[in-house]
Structure 1
Amino acid sequence: MKDIIIGLIMGIVEGLTEFAPVSSTGHLILTGHLLNFEGTPRVTTFEVFIQLGSILAVVVLFWKRILAILGLKRNEETDVAGKLSIIHIAIGIIPFCLGGIILYDTIKEVLFRPQTVVITLVAGGILMIIAEKFKPAPSSNTLDQVTYKQAFLVGLFQCLALVPGFSRSGATLSGGLLAGMNHKTAAEFTFIMAIPIMFAASGKDLLESWSQLSAADIPLFATGFLTAFVVAAIAIKFFLNLINKVKLIPFAIYRFILAIVFWIFIL
């Protein structure tokens, strides 16, 4: 029963924060600390596994757009195969993938610690405020207006998320605004671009640690995965409606508050 309760709580936290610009890593570390659920390979593997629940929610919500990107379905909005193509996605993820391959070991060994998360929570919040203050008038108000240049610029900003706590969504949303996307388009591009990245990164970590798990871990992992999937699906729809109204600055302020809480409870 304890595992199921932990799975529910951690799954809710993951689902709520994975695609909001507030750092799911920071929230999972803080929640795990408060639940005394931390510091073991089992916990690390669980946190990776439930991310797949969140990303599955994106696949389910955007399945028509994904098929259009792959050229398997006509875009119902534009009556074409889909102007946002797999080339845009590839251009967006290549910088992140290269950075991950080069810096993976260093990040895991040196940067994956609470002190880093506090710093990046604040740094990410500052970036989001800068993006809101200095963003140009949007030239891309739908996904089909996103250019290769914009996709690449967002990909460069996404590299900031290699550092734990920076928030991939926070980095890419900021990059999208500064590249000339409106808030909703930047958010949708962020969600879709997350699919191959998160599947690849989570899959790698799972393959490396799966042998350390046992059948007794199934209730915890299943509960966390399903909870993250359901909560993320609801959170994504809510966030897409919210982001055009409230913009990024409230999320930046929240990050500053979270950094203070993190400092008090973790450091």
Structure 2
Amino acid sequence: MTILQIFALAAVQGAAELLPVSSSAHVIVIAKLMGLDPTTPEMTLLLVMLHTGTMFAVICYFWRSWRESFFASRKQFMRAFKLIMISTILTGMVGLVLKAVIERAVLREIPNAEIELLFGNLGLISAALTAAGVLIIVAGLYGKRASTSADLGVRESALIGMVQGLCLPFRGFSRSGATISAGLLLGIAREKAEEFSFALAVILTPPVIAREVWRLLKAQTLTTSTQGAHLAGLFFPSIVGMVLSFLAGLLALRWLSSWLEKGRWQFFGFYCLVAASVVFTFYRIGM
């Protein structure tokens, strides 16, 4: 993988991460167009590390509002921590159940099959983009018009967490798009839905990184004499990609967040439907 390819993937990830259009779907399609296999351990680790770069950009960008929302007092922090943990636990439960069902039912004919084998399936990505697009359009057009003082409680956190769990196995089903849409449909104010969605992303990303690092190491057969150099070669593209996606995310955040705040949520859904059609065309021609 060349530096130019890593730069292209990082730029796409950084630009698309804050929009509810599934940055991973865009990155996977770009990777395929460049002749890369998005299902390999090296590529799945790179994709996760690209998310990590934009996660740090999100932390930098949202830190002030999080400090006011989550860290203003010990009581406020404990309440936010409880809601985030409830949501994250339910995300894990739903995601693990879906993973087990898919691996044992859909992929049962493949020895030692893992869910990552589906990550490069453009037909499935197209279907996931379509589902995300419909959800976003419904939330944008018919979501409850909540005020900025709308509350987010245990029920809302649990439902958002379960929706997030549905997104984990499917590239193209935008995590932020689904969770923010769920919040809007539950009557949560847009600002609070955004803050909560990206807070969940910060909690969710580290264990996903750990899983992909473990998967990458397990897939490698290394000798003691070449282990250090080989590992450096494996992780270098991911680290470079993380740094580049962080920079791209910072550059794009102000414009993207400003556009998101103008109440044009449903337009992201229409874009997802167009993107789904393009991806499905690629799938039909056997890309």
- Structure-1 residue corresponding to 2:81: 86
In the superposition, the TM-score normalised over structure 2's length comes to 0.79
Question: C-alpha offsets along residues 82-125 of structure 1, whole Å, 9 cap, x if unaligned?
Answer: 58510111122222110122222426167542211111111111
- Structure-2 residue corresponding to 1:227: 244
Distance 1:187 1:142 in 2: 14
* Stretches of structure 1 lacking an aligned partner (at least 5 in a row): none
- Structure-2 residue corresponding to 1:74: 72
Conserved? CA contact 1:22–1:255, under 8 Å: yes
The one of 129, 133, 136 equivalent to 1:125 is 133
1:188 partnered with 2:187: no
Give the letter for the 1:56 counterpart. Answer: F
1:244 partnered with 2:252: no
Structure 1 residues 1-267: aligned runs within 5 Å: 3-39=2-38, 40-63=40-63, 73-74=71-72, 81-82=76-77, 85-105=80-100, 106=102, 108=115, 111-112=118-119, 113-139=121-147, 141=148, 145-162=151-168, 163-210=170-217, 212=220, 214-267=231-284
User: Offset of 1:4 from its aligned partner?
Assistant: 1.0
Question: C-alpha offsets along residues 50-89 of structure 1, whole Å, 9 cap, x if unaligned?
Answer: 221122222333445666777xx536xxx97558510111
Pick closer, same or farther for the CA change 1:26–1:216 going to 2, 3 Å.
same
Conserved? CA contact 1:45–1:209, under 8 Å: yes
* Stretches of structure 2 lacking an aligned partner (at least 5 in a row): 104-114, 221-229
Question: C-alpha offsets along residues 12-50 of structure 1, whole Å, 9 cap, x if unaligned?
Answer: 111222332101221011100111122533222221222
Give the letter for the 2:89 counterpart. Answer: I
Distance 2:27 2:215 in 1: 21
- The two structures, once aligned, show a CA RMSD in angstroms of 2.7
Conserved? CA contact 2:139–2:266, under 8 Å: no
Pick closer, same or farther for the CA change 1:185–1:235 going to 2, 3 Å.
farther
**Structure index of larger Rg:** 2
Distance 1:4 1:219 in 2: 10
Distance 1:104 1:110 in 2: 12
Question: C-alpha offsets along residues 140-185 of structure 1, whole Å, 9 cap, x if unaligned?
Answer: x269x43222222222322331232111011101101011122222
Conserved? CA contact 2:94–2:166, under 8 Å: no
Conserved? CA contact 1:184–1:240, under 8 Å: no
Give the letter for the 1:151 counterpart. Answer: S
Pick closer, same or farther for the CA change 1:11–1:226 going to 2, 3 Å.
same
Distance 2:235 2:95 in 1: 30
Pick closer, same or farther for the CA change 1:5–1:255 going to 2, 3 Å.
same
Conserved? CA contact 1:14–1:228, under 8 Å: yes
- Structure-1 residue corresponding to 2:225: none
Aligned length: 259
In the superposition, the TM-score normalised over structure 1's length comes to 0.85
Give the letter for the 2:154 counterpart. Answer: Y
Give the letter for the 2:91 counterpart. Answer: F
